[in-house]
Chains A and B, each alone.
Chain A
Amino acid sequence: MDFISFLVAYWPTLIQLTAEHLGIIVVAMALSLALGLVVGIAISFSPRAAAIVLGINGLLMTFPSLALFSLLVPVLGIGSAPAIAGLVVYTQLPLVRNVYTGLTGIDPALIEAAEGMGLTPLKILWKIKLPLAWPAILTGIRTATVMGIGIGAIAAYVGAGGLGVLIFQGISRNNDAMVIVGAILISAISILTDRLLARIGDRDRS
């Protein structure tokens, strides 16, 4: 049927769009993780700052991504830049929240033991807190990445490229095969990424 012929005709494009999509996700996640770690670590020293930052993040999450991408285009231009910026915003909450809960959920006895032995606060962060928070941080990375893959597809509407292109062009050209292939590819990538990151988490734990 036309499904097969679509795949045969378009496979190079499919690969290119997939690569584009993954590229955007990787860049956005790298930026977001760096920012999320800094923010998460910073607010782990102040419960009040944490409440404020997490509250603002939660509010930003409810802002529709389509609108945010649309608003970012005039500022950052067409292309992957607004997509990356938007993804950084949306992936902040799961990252910051998990870094924060990971760092603050550590048994206080361990911190006290480390302090008592004469470790400096920076050493305690680096050698004790971050390694112990790592499983939680990894869960945050997983949630954020999978979320980002879905939101990244929406960014195609404002010209960011990626697999969302198949869905939006398919709808406007009334090409069902194109829409379905786009949907399946995005779903498959989401599920695979989730499984992969879950496996890394399990391996780290043992």
Chain B
Amino acid sequence: MTDRRLSAGLKVGAYLAAAVALTLYVVEWPQDSLVARLVTFPHVLALTGQHLAIVALSSVLAILTAVPLGLMLTRDWARQWTPRVVGFVNVCQTVPSLAVVALAVGLLGIGATTAIVALWLYALLPILNNTLTGLDGVDAATLQAARGMGMRPGRVLRRIEVPLALPLIVAGVRTAVTVNIGSAILAAFVGGGGLGDLIIAGNNISRVQVVVLGAGLPMLMALIVDALFDVAAEETAG
């Protein structure tokens, strides 16, 4: 386990170093003066911060809504509907992220809030899906045994159901966060900022360096999150 942590730590370090190196390279050796004016260290840092903030806020909101919703929808009175809800959520998951962002714009107008709301809704789906599947998959005999020993429903939930469903819930969060890091690029279209700004700017002035920087940073961000979730998956599985 410590081995895993160590290797995850090394990976995270390597990706961070790569991100810094990539930024430094563009800042120090810009293609031309246009790039030099556009890409400065503070600017890149600010966009990265915005990107992270959008992802973090929408993901936390998604966890805080999807998990309780999943818990509620798997109580006895609703359990018979669980497969159908999962089916519905699965259908919703096929809706592309750009469509969700666009719908949010149509309803809320332009701005960072729009981006966060859109990504929140989009991240909700995988988490809810996995929470439902995880809780629904807890062996009925195990639940019977727990109840038979005199555990109250709340205790059964906390001590049996959630721990058993946790690996799947974490996997759902992992999917949601990873997808969100990519989707947050679309925030740039709705005035939400983030690293998508760099890609769009690079595209508008046709500077490969800027586009690559705008693409490379979220890519490395996704890799870092992936390495961290490797550890989380290990911990919750054991």
Contacts and interface: CB of A to CB of B under 8 A. Distances in A.
A154 B98 contact: yes
B185 A187 contact: no
B102 A180 contact: yes
A151 B185 CA distance: 13
A140 interface: no
B208 A71 contact: yes
B189 A171 contact: yes
B207 to A, nearest CB: 10
Does more than half of chain B's interface fall in helix, strand or loop, or is it mixed? helix
A167 B102 CA distance: 6
Contact residues on B (Cβ < 8 Å of other chain), bracket: 35 or more
Interface in A11-68: 59, 62-68
Contacts of B73: none
Nearest to A182: B102
A134 interface: no
A64 B206 CA distance: 17
B1 interface: no
A150 B214 contact: no
B100 A71 contact: no
Contacts of B206: 74
Interface in A174-195: 176-177, 179-180, 182-184, 186-187, 190-191, 194-195
B219 interface: yes
Interface stretch (B4-12, B39-47, B163-171, B196-204): B196-204
A168 B99 contact: no
Nearest to A142: B94
Contact of B100 (A66, A146, A183): A183
B178 to A, nearest CB: 8
Interface string B165-202: 00000000000001000100110011000001001101
Interface string B89-122: 0010011111110110111001000000000000
Given A62-B223, A66-B185, A153 B98 contact: yes
Given A63-B215, A187-B95, A70 B199 contact: yes
A74 B178 CA distance: 29
B48 to A, nearest CB: 14
A59 B218 CA distance: 12
B94 to A, nearest CB: 4
A164 interface: yes
Contact of B202 (A70, A170, A180): A70
Contacts of B102: 167, 170-171, 179-180, 182-183, 186
Contact residues on A (Cβ < 8 Å of other chain), bracket: 35 or more
A184 B215 CA distance: 28
B203 A158 contact: yes
Nearest to B196: A66
A9 to B, nearest CB: 17
A71 B212 contact: yes
B222 interface: yes
A67 B212 CA distance: 7
Contact of B199 (A67, A150, A171): A67
B211 interface: yes
A18 B100 CA distance: 18
Given A74-B206, A171-B190, A186-B96, A62 B222 contact: yes
Given A62-B223, A66-B215, A179-B103, 14 more contacts: A59-B219, A62-B178, A64-B218, A66-B185, A67-B214, A150-B98, A167-B102, A180-B106, A183-B100, A186-B99, A187-B99, A191-B91, A194-B91, A195-B91
Interface of A: 59, 62-68, 70-71, 73-74, 146, 149-151, 153-154, 157-158, 164, 167-168, 170-171, 176-177, 179-180, 182-184, 186-187, 190-191, 194-195
14 contacts: A63-B219, A64-B196, A67-B211, A70-B202, A153-B96, A170-B105, A170-B106, A176-B106, A177-B106, A179-B105, A187-B99, A191-B91, A191-B95, A194-B94
Interface of B: 91, 94-100, 102-103, 105-107, 110, 178, 182, 185-186, 189-190, 196, 199-200, 202-203, 206, 208, 211-212, 214-215, 218-219, 222-223
